[in-house]
């Protein structure tokens, strides 16, 4: 069984702008995001993004446009010699109905755990909202709540040390 660090996207890896990121030029990778991904990978963790993207359901942007936003982050990682193992997104919004993949439900994490043969007890979810932490707990993963748009490298270093010991 492998281990992974799950990252929420908006406010954790890219700047939370208070509204939907609907254009590629509004997608800003936070200063320590790539360093956090490098740190996780250097300790043998898979890196998996799990993100609610209800803007698709609200027709503010498309899945193809979302892929172009993610490509900005993927390119930043590639330039730094690291990578993201997988990205899961929920395109649904509660105004259109309930789904099991939208956090605080845990289906995105559960799919990743099954696909990547992860040990949930050796995984960590970093999020900036209670719904991120609730989704992690439902999947048996420890959650780490951070403030949006803040540095997280030192917190992640401490959490990784606890997991690998």
> Active-site residue 57, yes or no?
no
User: Which residues constitute the domain of residue 147?
Assistant: 4-164
For residue range 28-74, list pLDDT tens digits in order. Answer: 999 999 999 999 999 999 999 999 999 999 999 999 999 999 999 99
Beta strand pairing status for 46-52 and 142-145?
Answer: unpaired
pLDDT tens column, 81-110: 999 999 999 999 998 888 999 999 999 999
Considering the entire predicted model, what is its pTM? 0.96
| Total count of domains within the chain | 1
How many angstroms separate the CA atoms of 18 and 34, rounded? 22
Residue 8 bears catalytic tag? yes
CATH number at residue 31: 3.40.50.1000
């Amino acid at each position: 069984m492998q281990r992974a660090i799950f990252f929420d996207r908006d406010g954790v890896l890219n700047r939370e702008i208070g509204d939907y990121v609907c254009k590629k030029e509004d997608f800003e990778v936070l200063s320590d995001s790539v360093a956090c991904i490098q740190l996780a990978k250097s300790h043998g963790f898979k890196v998996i993004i799990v993100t609610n993207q209800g803007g698709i359901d609200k027709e503010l942007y498309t899945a193809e446009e979302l892929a172009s936003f993610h490509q900005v982050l993927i390119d930043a990682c590639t330039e730094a010699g690291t990578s993201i193992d997988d990205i899961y997104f929920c395109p649904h919004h509660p105004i259109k109905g309930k789904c099991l993949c939208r956090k605080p439900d845990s289906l995105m994490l559960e799919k990743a755990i099954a696909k990547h043969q992860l040990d949930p007890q050796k995984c960590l979810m970093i999020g900036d909202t209670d719904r991120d932490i609730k989704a992690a707990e439902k999947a048996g993963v420890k959650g780490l709540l951070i403030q949006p748009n803040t540095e997280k490298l030192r917190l992640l270093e401490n959490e990784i040390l606890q997991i690998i010991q």
